[in-house]
A and B are shown apart, each in its own frame.
Chain A
């Protein structure tokens, strides 16, 4: 086994080696620290790396396991956390320069649960400023897509997607309000889930879209995602909106086939749109796989889904802005990235009457989606109608109304916001590559709290394809940029 193989292994595979004492958690942490040192000067997927702390914890884990106290499949597994998820005395920067730490000593419940399971925090992942996805300038370096540096790594939980994809960590926690986990999963070729709202405690996440925010993992396989989600899920007294429903063992419900499963292909988020040829080809191939597994696929129309983007921006964004104005925007306008501050200012000025009407609109969009689950076990949609964009085309530019229409309302958001507005679980699963080796994904959504069905479909699809076995060749994609990065750093 060479270092690349170990770095790109799934959590489940790494866990087996740790349990059998064939590798030590110390080896794994050191491997990822070395890879971060080598590659992250270009990829910019980390803001804080807590190497010494992680190595210290790895040594403790190694001793526990040696003494027969193996805690389970996350014991000794390194994880990252988007830098808006609090981690005690390790700073939470929000990728902002307004203040050095927004964490106020809190530790997110999701982080606590992972650490109780024996996982080891490796560091804090880079992100769009405040997770708003509108950053133009990055205070901690611009994250890069490890598959092809010329293409976007998508928005918000970007460093989480990049680091998992590039084999710089085993898994990472992200945060998804409108697609902030699913987007980076799509662009970087990994698995990312938005769980049902309430499935995972929001405590300790610095996030103010209180009706939509979710914390969840990005991983290299569906099974890993299910494992991490079930570890962090469950009721938390610190989050009054967290659910007390029992947390299933998702993997127990995995099946090789999908016989009897009825899928609705959302026309407005797939075949009803003008698709890029590569996306069209990928979707047809994915549908062939799903039907070959025994699922039936029918087109379903959700016409109200097209309103999800403005409805989210008129409801959740003002909720966020209400905090921003009081705490930061009045005092620190110039320290915000221009994309973040103008988006938040516009949201702050939405009249209360419009906000209330938009909340009614969200109920209608949600009802339409929920009604579809009376007919279908799950919905299938694209993650975008085009593959990830070239970097220069992915930056949100707001010079006129046409820009806003194309950049804000015809973007990847049209495929992710509907499930966010409805607060149903949805997962982005790698489904192919463009000719330029840029990843693409399909999305699977299920009814509230039916992550079991969603994971079952995603896992069966994944195991019937080979996309999850492909990983970026960093020597080829990032290597040529290393010299330039060192020269810019004056080395």
Chain B
């Protein structure tokens, strides 16, 4: 995933966030890298992920 500065600018506009030109590239690099890694996770774990609920791991009431 190679998000451009324009991609990031458009995404940010959707949440009313104006990112100055000088930081756009860094934000694009950070987000692109995260999305790349998520693709790897989907490749390896995607089928398993379909079979569980996305329950936050906050479990004061669970038994161990």
Contacts and interface: CB of A to CB of B under 8 A. Distances in A.
A357 interface: yes
B57 A421 contact: yes
Given A356-B54, A401-B29, A310 B38 contact: yes
A405 B33 contact: yes
A78 to B, nearest CB: 31
Contacts of B37: 307, 309-310, 409
Interface of A: 197-198, 210-211, 241-245, 304, 307, 309-311, 313-314, 325, 329-330, 333-334, 338, 341-343, 345-346, 348-350, 354, 356-364, 366-367, 370, 373, 398-401, 403-405, 408-409, 421-423, 447-450
Contacts of A367: 52
20 contacts: A211-B58, A241-B60, A245-B60, A307-B45, A309-B37, A333-B18, A333-B19, A342-B30, A345-B17, A349-B27, A349-B31, A350-B34, A357-B49, A362-B57, A364-B49, A373-B64, A399-B29, A409-B33, A421-B57, A450-B64
Contacts of B54: 356-357, 359-360, 362-363
Contact of B12 (A345, A366, A403, A422): A345
Given A310-B34, A342-B27, A449-B64, A329 B56 contact: no
Contacts of B50: 360
A421 B54 CA distance: 13
A363 B31 contact: no
Interface residues of B, number: 41
Contact of A401 (B15, B23, B32, B58): B32
CB-based closest 3 A-B pairs: A359-B54, A243-B60, A346-B30
A242 to B, nearest CB: 7
Nearest to B59: A448
A291 B61 CA distance: 35
A350 B53 contact: no
A343 B49 CA distance: 26
A403 B37 CA distance: 15
A359 B56 contact: yes
A145 B25 CA distance: 32
B21 to A, nearest CB: 12
Contacts of A197: 57-59
Given A357-B49, A423-B57, A449-B64, 7 more contacts: A197-B59, A343-B30, A348-B12, A348-B15, A356-B54, A363-B54, A398-B26
B48 A398 contact: no
A359 B50 CA distance: 11
A367 B52 CA distance: 10
A400 B32 CA distance: 11
Contacts of A354: 35, 38
Nearest to A339: B26
Contact of A307 (B16, B29, B41): B41
B23 A345 contact: yes
